[in-house]
């Protein structure tokens, strides 16, 4: 399986912190069942520099439970037959570089997001992931100047992750205006070569719908993890994802079908 | 200070492209922060080659911070140990440590860049106090992030910062110490890059910080080089020694002697020895040696000296260690506490627990093959011990 996000509807990528609860893989099935196009799995890191309170708490709780990157990947491997949607791993450079690309490939991970690995540092991992058939998804931020933005669009695989706000991950009451201008710039640059996914602060179905109209879809993390931290089980959170899905599908979509997506190597 | 004479390449000069010291260094930050790091690099490069900026900094160093700091022969201890031990007295600088050197440079640079606020992390509070001081002087706002546990351990420094007009924000995540305060300062910087400068306190973090902070601390080594030359017939000492947490006072000291035959010795806390016990890793924006578990989770350091309670170390030290230009050793908390007492009794100087690491190594090594009798030693006494006397009185060793 490779990361393939060709679709004619706005994309929905919900997130779960690996190892957060004993039955954390149940959230993967719930997300899939609720209509996720792919699922982002966070490998908890002791020093999550780009994460706000919610993901920090989720990471801390997972680590306190004894979650390790290796055990989380093993859990993913065990789920392989039951998961039909692509799995994208999000983690920090120290863990990603230590684990190595082969380890991700071995358990069927098809995409990788490493938020503290900017263009200046990402070339070696780009080459390794390319060789292993994994898409290294690069991030663009509102502060990214045009020349860098073009370079990010050129080198990113799978999709381009649009960081909606100058800040850390976390729920916000509205989708930042910067999200819309960044999504526009990315779409202009990409000309439908890759989808643009908006993340950071996409919390409600309304925000998801707005993100789906501005870009090609959204990543939703903190809002879901807040629910899990508060005790929501997979079937509870499934309903949240169903609502996000419905809002995205009901919105006017600017998304285009992608004839050919990098990473589709079937 | 000679500006134009400084060569741009060589050991402890400019890092290679991208801020690399061998395989270490770099700029491992979120995309959101890359433009801010690039802007800072350009601004520093521009300021550092501008004689007007250097003159202005020199003026503040002289009339405000009390530089040059003295070089004091440790007469009594030298006689007892059979050495010539010279102390570079950063404890006499304003705010009581070498931290003011870096902060004056960064605050002036922040003002030149049009920033109105300094964001800083602090462990023991020395860097926080220095940042609050410079902010007060230059009319900048200061927000200092400090681990909740450190705020309890160093309550007096919290009060000092507040007295100076800074806002001190407790950090309750992770181990609630310096590494978590650094994470939080970087998170807040992302949201405030337009008007705020991240005033990082050590030779760590993403490029250009390890280079820039070392350059702002280079004054320690350059002054000491001149002062030692006047004191010793050999011109340079046999050994140059300084304590290493993140490594800024050691980097500044070593920079003055990197092109000499002097042996460079960095002394780490046994419970926070990234150079001795760490493995390559990426934390706080650069690749260096880091204390971490087998999975790559960053470990917590433990030292009697809160300023050395840090699981990482500046990337240039990792390279100096790799190239064997510098040697790194460790001392225990017990040796450190004893070193504070010994220096106080023999020389009438109460030094910081951090600085006492360097003293402790000299006490242990004197008369051995590591430091034979008759050796000449320059030791940077990075700070004064006022902040630690309550802790020493309580007999707290960790």
Domains of chain A: which residue ranges?
11-250
Structure confidence at residue B124 (pLDDT): 83
Question: Where residue A257 falls among pLDDT bands split at 50, 70, 90?
Answer: very low
Does the annotation count B375 as an active-site position?
no
Question: Which one of B191, B285, B295 would you mutate to disrupt binding with A, by most A Cβ within 10 Å of its Cβ?
Answer: B295
Question: Where residue A266 falls among pLDDT bands split at 50, 70, 90?
Answer: very low
CA A15 from centroid of its chain's CA atoms: 6
Contact residues on chain B for A167, CB-CB shorter than 8 A = 32, 187, 190-191
Could you tell me the residue ranges of all domains in chain B? 20-62+99-209, 66-97+216-393
- Give CATH for domain A11-250: 3.20.20.70
Does the annotation count B215 as an active-site position?
no
Model pLDDT for residues A166-210, shown as the tens digit of each residue: 999 999 988 989 999 999 999 999 999 999 999 999 999 999 999
Structure confidence at residue B390 (pLDDT): 87
Structure confidence at residue A256 (pLDDT): 43
Residue A255 has pLDDT above 90, yes or no: no
- Find residues 107-126 of chain A whose CB sits inside 8 Å of chain B: 115-121
Cβ pair B296:A94 closer than 8 A: yes
> Residue A104: which of A65, A69, A138, A63 has the closest Cα?
A69
Please give the model's pTM, rounded to 2 decimal places: 0.95
Give B67's DSSP letter: P
Structure confidence at residue B176 (pLDDT): 87
The CB density around residue A79, as the number of other CB atoms within 10 Å, is 17
Fold of B20-62+99-209: Rossmann fold (3.40.50)
Cβ pair A118:B27 closer than 8 A: yes
Cβ pair A47:B180 closer than 8 A: yes
Structure confidence at residue B177 (pLDDT): 87
Structure confidence at residue B397 (pLDDT): 53
With respect to CATH, is domain B66-97+216-393 assigned 2.40.70.10? no
Structure confidence at residue A4 (pLDDT): 61
The CB density around residue B320, as the number of other CB atoms within 10 Å, is 27
Structure confidence at residue A251 (pLDDT): 55
Structure confidence at residue B8 (pLDDT): 63
B139 touches chain A (CB under 8 A): no
Residue A260 has pLDDT above 80, yes or no: no
A15 touches chain B (CB under 8 A): no
Structure confidence at residue A7 (pLDDT): 61
| Residue with more model confidence, B10 or A70 | A70
Of A51, A128, A135, A216, which residue is the catalytic one?
Answer: A51
Structure confidence at residue B6 (pLDDT): 52
Structure confidence at residue A164 (pLDDT): 94
Nearest CB among A46, A93, A145 relative to B174 is that of A46
ipTM greater than 0.90: yes
Question: Average pLDDT by consecutive 10-residue portion of chain B (398 residues)?
Answer: 54 94 98 97 98 98 98 98 98 98 98 98 94 98 95 91 98 89 96 96 98 98 98 96 97 98 98 96 98 96 89 98 98 98 98 97 98 98 93 75
B292 touches chain A (CB under 8 A): yes
Structure confidence at residue A1 (pLDDT): 38
């Amino acid at each position: 399986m490779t990361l393939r996000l060709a679709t004619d509807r706005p994309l929905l990528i919900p997130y779960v912190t690996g190892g957060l609860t004993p039955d954390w893989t149940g959230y993967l099935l719930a997300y899939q069942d609720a209509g996720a196009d792919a699922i982002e799995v966070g490998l908890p890191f002791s020093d999550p520099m780009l994460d706000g309170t919610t993901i920090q708490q989720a990471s801390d709780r997972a680590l306190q439970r004894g979650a390790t990157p290796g055990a989380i990947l093993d859990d993913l491997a065990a789920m392989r037959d039951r998961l039909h949607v692509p799995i994208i791993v999000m983690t920090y450079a120290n863990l990603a570089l230590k684990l190595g690309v082969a380890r991700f490939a071995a358990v069927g991970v098809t995409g990788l997001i490493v938020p503290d690995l900017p263009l200046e540092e990402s070339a070696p991992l780009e080459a390794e992931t390319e060789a292993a058939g994994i898409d290294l998804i690069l991030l663009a931020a509102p502060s990214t100047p045009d020349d860098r933005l073009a370079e990010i669009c050129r080198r990113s695989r799978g999709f381009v992750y649009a960081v909606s706000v100058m800040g850390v991950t976390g729920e916000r009451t509205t989708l930042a205006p910067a999200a819309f201008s960044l999504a526009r710039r990315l779409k202009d640059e990409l000309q439908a070569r890759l989808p643009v996914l908006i993340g950071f602060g996409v919390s409600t179905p309304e925000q998801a719908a707005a993100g789906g109209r501005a870009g090609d879809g959204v990543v939703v993390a903190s809002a879901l993890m807040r629910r899990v931290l508060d005790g929501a089980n997979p079937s509870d959170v499934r309903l949240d994802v169903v609502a996000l899905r419905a809002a995205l599908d009901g919105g006017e979509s600017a998304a285009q079908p992608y004839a050919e997506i990098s990473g589709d190597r079937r | 200070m000679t500006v134009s004479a400084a060569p741009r390449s060589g050991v402890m000069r400019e890092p290679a492209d991208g801020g690399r010291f061998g395989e270490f260094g770099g700029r491992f930050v979120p995309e959101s922060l890359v433009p801010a790091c690039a802007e800072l690099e350009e601004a520093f490069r521009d300021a550092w080659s501008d004689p007007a900026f250097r003159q202005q900094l020199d003026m503040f160093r002289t009339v405000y911070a009390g530089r040059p700091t003295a070089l004091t022969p440790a007469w009594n201890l030298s006689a007892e140990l059979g050495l010539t031990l010279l102390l570079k007295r950063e404890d006499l600088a304003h705010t009581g440590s070498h931290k003011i050197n870096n902060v004056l440079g960064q605050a002036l640079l922040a003002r030149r860049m049009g920033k109105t606020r300094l964001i800083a992390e602090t462990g023991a509070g020395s860097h926080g106090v220095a940042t609050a001081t410079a902010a007060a002087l230059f009319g900048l706002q200061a927000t200092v992030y400090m681990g909740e546990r450190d705020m309890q351990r160093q309550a007096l420094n919290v009060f000092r910062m507040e007295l100076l007009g800074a806002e001190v924000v407790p950090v309750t995540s992770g181990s609630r110490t310096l590494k978590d305060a650094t994470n939080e300062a970087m998170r807040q910087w992302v949201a405030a890059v337009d008007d705020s400068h991240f005033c990082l306190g050590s030779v760590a973090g993403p490029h250009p910080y390890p280079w820039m902070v070392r350059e702002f601390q280079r004054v320690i080594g350059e002054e000491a080089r001149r002062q030692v030359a006047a004191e010793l017939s050999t011109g340079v000492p046999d050994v140059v020694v300084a304590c290493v947490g993140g490594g800024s006072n050691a980097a500044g000291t070593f920079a003055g002697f990197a092109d000499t035959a002097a042996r460079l010795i960095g002394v780490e806390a046994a419970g926070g020895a990234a150079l001795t016990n760490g493995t390559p890793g990426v934390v706080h924006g650069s690749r260096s040696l880091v204390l971490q578990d087998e999975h790559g989770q960053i470990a917590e350091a433990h030292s009697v000296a809160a300023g050395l309670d840090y699981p990482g170390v500046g990337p240039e030290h990792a390279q100096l260690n790799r190239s064997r230009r510098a040697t790194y050793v460790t001392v225990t908390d017990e040796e450190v506490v004893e070193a504070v007492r010994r220096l106080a009794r023999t020389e009438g100087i109460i030094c910081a627990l951090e600085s006492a690491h360097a003293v402790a190594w000299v006490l242990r090594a004197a008369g051995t093959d590591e430091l034979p009798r008759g050796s000449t030693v320059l030791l940077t006494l990075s700070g004064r011990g006022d902040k630690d006397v309550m802790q020493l009185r309580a007999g707290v060793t960790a």
